[in-house]
Structure 1
Amino acid sequence: MNSEIATPTSATDGDNARLIKSQLPERGLFAGLEWRISPAPFPLGPQLAKELDSLGRVLLQFYRAVNLLYRKSVEGKQPEWIARWLDLGKPSELIELQRSTAFKNEVPRVIRPDLLMTENGFSITELDSVPGGIGLTAWLNQTYSRLETPTPKPDVLGGADGMLRGFESIFGNAEHVRIIVSDEAATYRPEMDWIAGQLGPRFSVHDSQFTAFQEGDAVYRFFELFDLPNVPGSKKIFELAAGKQIRLTPPPKPIFEEKMLFALLWNRNLQSFWRQELGESFLQRLQRLTPYTWLMDPAPLPPHGALPELNLTDWSQLKTLSQKERDLILKVSGFSAEAWGARGVYLGSDLSQGDWSAAVDQALSRFESSPY
């Protein structure tokens, strides 16, 4: 990995930057990527730090509620359109796994909220259950905790080894922990090699063809479910996990890789469910932190119907909005090769009228396979 040291403002800053650069692993952390080195950690302030520190249990409860909502929809105890929406574009084998008894109560054990800083705090743009950055964050925490300046020494959120210990803890007392990294996720292989090295011989990193598991192994799935055709060992992994011979996280449940979950959170028809499962406090907090979200279902509305907040009567009317009015983002389903790296994201106010119209048409035409 190449790195560039930000221009230091003092001798102390320069010393810090050089120390940080010296701590970079020989193989780097993200393959082929570069960044500038800051001589000090990013300051959050006590209020924001407290908000972040308490967010995990809210997101975990949300994932548990999503899991229950899907299951109740399948059972006919919640509206059928919920499961129908969440299953759009998914192969039958994955839907079967998702609904199986073996994974009934399983939720991802790592949840990364993608946060956007604003003048009023932060906003959660999406949740990632197969996130890159676990090793990078652990390295950043470890490295920046070693700095002796500035004085007083700032506290690093999570401490020097919080990410290391947290990641280690999700695998219980398994004798072997296998981290399976796909070719598609190869950019993140160096950071997983680093974190495995930090956690000792119990942890090992393997490519997507590995299948030499032993009973009782714990497996971390670092590959997306849309990419299964390119992960030769995935079928064996899922078979062993379904048979309780290995412990797998995240589970093979595409609902947790969907980006429509916030659309369900905001759907007025489901407010009583969310209130019951999240509690009023968690529900209000999530809705304060997440942008209003819709699923672009092209089904026609009744003549007197309108899309909430937008006051449109048909999704195609998005194409007629002015550049100022279309301060909106179109985002593809998580079950898509375009779902990462901002490749399936379109910011309306940043596009020409023609490009925005083409993105809207594409989103509506792909509803059955990759809903937006």
Structure 2
Amino acid sequence: MITKPEDICLEIESSLAESSLFSKEAQVEKGVPSWRVSPEPYYLSSEEISFFEDLGSHLLKFYTVLNSLYADSVKGQIPSWFAQYLDAGKPDDLVAYSRMKRIRGDLPGIIRPDIMVTEKGFSITELDSVPGGFGLTARLMDLYSGMGEMVVGMSDGGIPEAFYKMAESISGETPCVVAIIVSDEANDYWGEMSSLAHQLNDKGFPVFALRPQEVIFREEGLFFKNNKDEVKIDILYRFFELFDLKNIPKAELIMYSCKKGRVKITPPFKPYLEEKLAFSLFKHPVLTSLWEKELGCETFAILSHLIPDTWILDSREVPEYAVIPGLDVRGKLVQDWKELIPLTQKERELVIKPSGFSPESWGSRGVVIGHDVSAEVWRRTLEDSLAKFPGESSVLQVFHKGRRVRVRYRDNSTDSILEMEARVRLTPYYFLIDGSARLTGILATLCPHDKKKIHGMSDAVLIPCAKK
């Protein structure tokens, strides 16, 4: 068994590179990521693991209630602006499709929150229902558990088997043929989706990673060529964003097949479930009683503590007798977004980011952290975000500073183990199986402590979480 930390890292790098999931040089090949490899996982206490195991049910409730409140808003049973905000900037035909009776109760098959580890605990900065990273996380979990680590999520077969069980649960077919459709826009994730499909194929599960153009439309359903045979797809995993629909070959045929009940699709074609501004609606004081009633006291209290204050950057004028709820500057309630322009760097501990239906909403694209940019960039970002509304929505969110932790990694240039002071983001993956959200793994992304944006980068360490 390999015990030297440098050799452990080299073994992990080689295994990942063989699966086309890792490049030893930054940006050597397009779509092949590079990062720093650690000889050990990110350790969590038993209490922290219990927290993450319990969190899935609360997040599933959030999506369930968001889905039902949207429908109630459309019907006029709650304020109409709830649905109007979520629909802003979307094509009318997509909005109509998302309200289709056949998919009314459908929710995303995978839920992944982005969670910052702070001095005070955890902060959920956003939810992603079309997440990348779970194929890579699955492979990392295999590698670190093979070293004897008690990796979180491995006890039930890890991510690959959970993915297939999720697909079976949604399709209602056992077994079911699963097609993971990866768009050109999402090409950076092709390697990990292909790797996941191969892992499942090796275990006898019929899962295939495909390009949209490989899908064959027939009146009786969707098919693809596997060697010389045409194979019918039971469930299609949509790994492409809805803003990109016009660029997705055969998107209309895929949607038609779903509409006719000839294929199941997850995540569903519901752009209103993919908006970061849902947190703004959750935090809106007028809606508090609705959320609390529908979520229940426990879930409402837990999410209220975890979700930062968030606002929709709505450029419409606020009446003289009204204020932007919960937002104050130097102790004074804000009536006009432009009051935020002259804030000092220290006062700008705020984040502006696209809400969802935009190519800028992927990853860290479009994210601007107020105290990490100049006053001019802050002003321009705020004004541009307001000018784009309602065609493209953005949100303002309170910045929660990550706690400093130390992590070891192998330095390529010296082939030695170095230590880095970092801030960490945790991304647990929950799979919807038989009505429950099952925790199947947690990826830790650790970036140098002076970085404000915590995301996958060449300077980051990416490791699975394990029990201490």
Same fold, TM-score > 0.5, yes or no: yes
Of 115-124 and 206-215, deviating more is 206-215
Q: Alpha-carbon deviation of 1:356?
A: 0.8
Q: Alpha-carbon deviation of 1:103?
A: 1.1
Structure 2 counterpart of 1:118: 118
CA distance in 2, matches of 1:22, 1:359: 42
Verify: 1:23 aligned to 2:15, yes or no. Answer: yes
Gaps of 5+ in 1: 1-9, 149-153
Verify: 1:289 aligned to 2:290, yes or no. Answer: no
Of 296-305 and 254-263, deviating more is 296-305
Q: Alpha-carbon deviation of 1:216?
A: 5.8
Summarize the Cα distance change of 1:76–1:174 in structure 2 as closer, same or farther, 3 Å threshold: farther
DSSP 3-state at the match of 2:296: helix
Taking only aligned residues, the RMSD between alpha carbons, in angstroms, comes to 1.6
Q: Percent identity?
A: 40
Verify: 1:353 aligned to 2:375, yes or no. Answer: yes
Structure 1 runs of 4+ aligned residues shifted over 6 Å read none
Map 1:35-46 onto structure 2 (within 5 A). Answer: 35-46=35-46
DSSP 3-state at the match of 1:49: helix
CA distance in 2, matches of 1:92, 1:254: 12
Structure 2 counterpart of 1:241: 258
Structure 2 counterpart of 1:207: 211
CA distance in 1, matches of 2:17, 2:365: 29
Structure 2 counterpart of 1:227: 244
Q: Alpha-carbon deviation of 1:60?
A: 0.8
Cα deviation per residue 1:197-246 (whole Å; 9 max; x = unaligned)? 11115111111213222456111000000011110121111111111101
Verify: 1:167 aligned to 2:163, yes or no. Answer: yes
CA distance in 2, matches of 1:322, 1:21: 44
CA distance in 2, matches of 1:137, 1:58: 23
Structure 2 counterpart of 1:194: 195
Amino acid paired to 2:252: K
CA distance in 2, matches of 1:370, 1:124: 23
Gaps of 5+ in 2: 23-30, 169-173, 217-221, 224-231, 395-468
Q: Alpha-carbon deviation of 1:250?
A: 0.4
Structure 1 counterpart of 2:107: 107
CA distance in 2, matches of 1:349, 1:15: 40
Q: Does the 8 A contact of 1:29 with 1:188 survive in 2?
A: no
CA distance in 2, matches of 1:211, 1:12: 47
Structure 1 counterpart of 2:152: 157
Map 1:38-77 onto structure 2 (within 5 A). Answer: 38-77=38-77
Verify: 1:265 aligned to 2:282, yes or no. Answer: yes
Higher RCO by CA contacts (8 Å cutoff, separation 6 or greater): 2
DSSP 3-state at the match of 1:37: coil
Q: Which among 188, 211, 217 is matched to residue 234 of structure 2?
A: 217
DSSP 3-state at the match of 1:194: helix
Q: Does the 8 A contact of 1:29 with 1:135 survive in 2?
A: no
Q: Alpha-carbon deviation of 1:305?
A: 2.0
Summarize the Cα distance change of 1:361–1:337 in structure 2 as closer, same or farther, 3 Å threshold: same
Q: Alpha-carbon deviation of 1:330?
A: 0.7
Q: Does the 8 A contact of 1:257 with 1:334 survive in 2?
A: yes
Amino acid paired to 2:50: K
Q: Which among 298, 312, 324 is matched to residue 315 of structure 2?
A: 298
Of 300-309 and 199-208, deviating more is 300-309
Q: Does the 8 A contact of 2:13 with 2:37 survive in 1?
A: yes
Q: Does the 8 A contact of 2:178 with 2:233 survive in 1?
A: no
Structure 2 counterpart of 1:13: 5
Q: Does the 8 A contact of 1:319 with 1:357 survive in 2?
A: yes
Structure 2 counterpart of 1:135: 135
Verify: 1:92 aligned to 2:92, yes or no. Answer: yes
CA distance in 1, matches of 2:135, 2:53: 19
Of 87-96 and 210-219, deviating more is 210-219
State TM-score, norm by structure 1. Answer: 0.92
How many residues get paired? 358
Cα deviation per residue 1:274-323 (whole Å; 9 max; x = unaligned)? 11111111111111111100111122222232222322111111112222
| Structure holding more strand per residue | 2
Structure 2 counterpart of 1:151: none
CA distance in 1, matches of 2:309, 2:104: 29
Cα deviation per residue 1:340-359 (whole Å; 9 max; x = unaligned)? 13221111111211111111
Q: Does the 8 A contact of 2:113 with 2:128 survive in 1?
A: yes
Q: Alpha-carbon deviation of 1:365?
A: 0.6
Q: Does the 8 A contact of 1:25 with 1:194 survive in 2?
A: no
DSSP 3-state at the match of 2:147: coil
Q: Does the 8 A contact of 2:21 with 2:32 survive in 1?
A: no
Verify: 1:370 aligned to 2:377, yes or no. Answer: no
Q: Does the 8 A contact of 1:210 with 1:233 survive in 2?
A: no
Q: Alpha-carbon deviation of 1:155?
A: 1.7
DSSP 3-state at the match of 1:122: strand
Verify: 1:309 aligned to 2:327, yes or no. Answer: yes
Q: Does the 8 A contact of 1:180 with 1:210 survive in 2?
A: no
Q: Does the 8 A contact of 1:211 with 1:236 survive in 2?
A: no
